[in-house]
Amino acid sequence: MTARDTLDLTVTRTIRAPRQKVFDAFVKPELIRKWFGPRGFTVVDAALDPRAGGRYRLTMKPRTGESHTVGGEYHEVKAPERLTFTWKWEGEPMGSLPETLVTVTLVERKGEHGVETDLTLLHSGFPAAEARDAHNGGWNSTLNDLVDLVDSRGSAATITVYGDPRSSYVRTVRMALAEKGIAYTHDPVAPHTEQILAICPFGRVPGFRDGDLTLYETTAIVRYIDECFDGPSLLAGNARSRAAMEQYASLINCHGYDAMVRRYVLQYVFPKGANNTPDRAVIDVAVPQIKSQLEVFDRAYGPRNLLAGDTVTLADLLLAPIIFYLGMFPEGKTLLAGAPNVTRAHAWMAERPSFKSTMPKLG
């Protein structure tokens, strides 16, 4: 196969860091251990001999599943501007791919916010589009981890949450990030704006971005956050508690939000009845449904402050921003007075820094 028969992949990033710092992250074992591999992977072995003719070998492991090892030979090590090395996977199925070549070029410039480095990664020699595209996802995810490590903004340089902070679902995602201690950028855009429609075809918030990856649907976003980052797990740990968490998360997503927020709270916030008053007929149907949902949650909590397991989970993060609103309106107040465990558990959640730091400004 000649060079012209093969395919190339180019990935670029602008990183707020001097290029020496970026270069060091590629060639120092103690640094490459901290970032190499896609989101959710950990480097378990790193051997680097960064000089022309020297070799490297990196083994990375996902949270669950087999580890992957890649290695090769350095062709050019020109600090701090260029690094070229061959790339060969070991083991199946990737080991069947031919050796390819990676060239990393770093150009430093004075940016709006200080020194910035333009990173260009050229990965050449792929035999087919499928292999090239798989590496595109892998490199983009891997470079997110590099940016987290060296960019002055940390993970706020790659992660953005889009959505009005008053949205309960936006708050759930922001609370999840806060619980894990992950830095992010918040773009408080309204539903159905151009930015949201570019991420979510239905125009709903939140939207989420991590480098080139975009996501919508709160549960998918929280699960991604949980899997990609260290920090406390937001998913209950054993089969029983995990199933309970899923049950309550599903109850909230399929019925709870609809009755408590859409057909109750929002009737007061954006009244659509006669003379701009809340639509009584809609509220009167919602209230008994909310009552039976609160009874379920009250039993689920019992004397505890968590819906499932021994730690804060997705289910708690979905419910807390909803209960916050429910207690602001007359029928909601009365219903919560009849659900003492929900009230107590919510008061406990409301004391958490993740809840306080995501408090929306209400008009």
Ligand X SMILES: N[C@@H](CCC(=O)N[C@@H](CS)C(=O)NCC(=O)O)C(=O)O
Distance CA 115, CA 18 (A): 6
Q: Is 358 one of the binding residues for ligand X (CB under 6 A)? A: no
- To which H or E segment does residue 169 belong? helix 168-180
Distance CA 63, CA 66 (A): 9
Q: Is 84 one of the binding residues for ligand X (CB under 6 A)? A: no
CA atoms within 13 A on the CB side of 58: 27
Q: Is 267 one of the binding residues for ligand X (CB under 6 A)? A: no
- In the complex with ligand X, the residue whose CB is nearer, 17 or 314, is 314
For 14, counting Cβ atoms within 10 Å of its Cβ (0-12 exposed, 13-18 middle, 19+ buried), the class is middle
Q: Is 218 one of the binding residues for ligand X (CB under 6 A)? A: yes
Q: Is 167 one of the binding residues for ligand X (CB under 6 A)? A: yes
Of 132, 204, 263, 346, which lies in the binding site for ligand X, with binding defined by CB under 6 A?
Answer: 204
Of 84, 140, 168, 293, which lies in the binding site for ligand X, with binding defined by CB under 6 A?
Answer: 168
- In the complex with ligand X, the residue whose CB is nearer, 139 or 184, is 184
Judged by CB under 6 A, which stretch of 75-83, 122-130, 202-210, 347-355 contacts ligand X?
202-210
- In the complex with ligand X, the residue whose CB is nearer, 58 or 290, is 290
Handedness of CA 72, 74, 80, 81 (dihedral sign): negative
Q: Strand, helix or coil at 1?
A: coil
Distance CA 88, CA 327 (A): 59
Distance CA 361, CA 185 (A): 18
CA atoms within 13 A on the CB side of 342: 26
**How many residues sit in the footprint of ligand X (CB under 6 A)?**
12
Judged by CB under 6 A, which stretch of 5-13, 36-44, 197-205, 268-276 contacts ligand X?
197-205
Of 191, 207, 256, 309, which lies in the binding site for ligand X, with binding defined by CB under 6 A?
Answer: 191
Q: Is 169 one of the binding residues for ligand X (CB under 6 A)? A: yes
The verdict on whether omega for the bond into residue 360 sits within 30 degrees of 0, i.e. cis, is no
Of 77, 102, 205, 317, which lies in the binding site for ligand X, with binding defined by CB under 6 A?
Answer: 205
Of 217, 258, 295, 331, which lies in the binding site for ligand X, with binding defined by CB under 6 A?
Answer: 217
Contact footprint for ligand X (CB under 6 A): 167-169, 191, 203-206, 217-219, 253
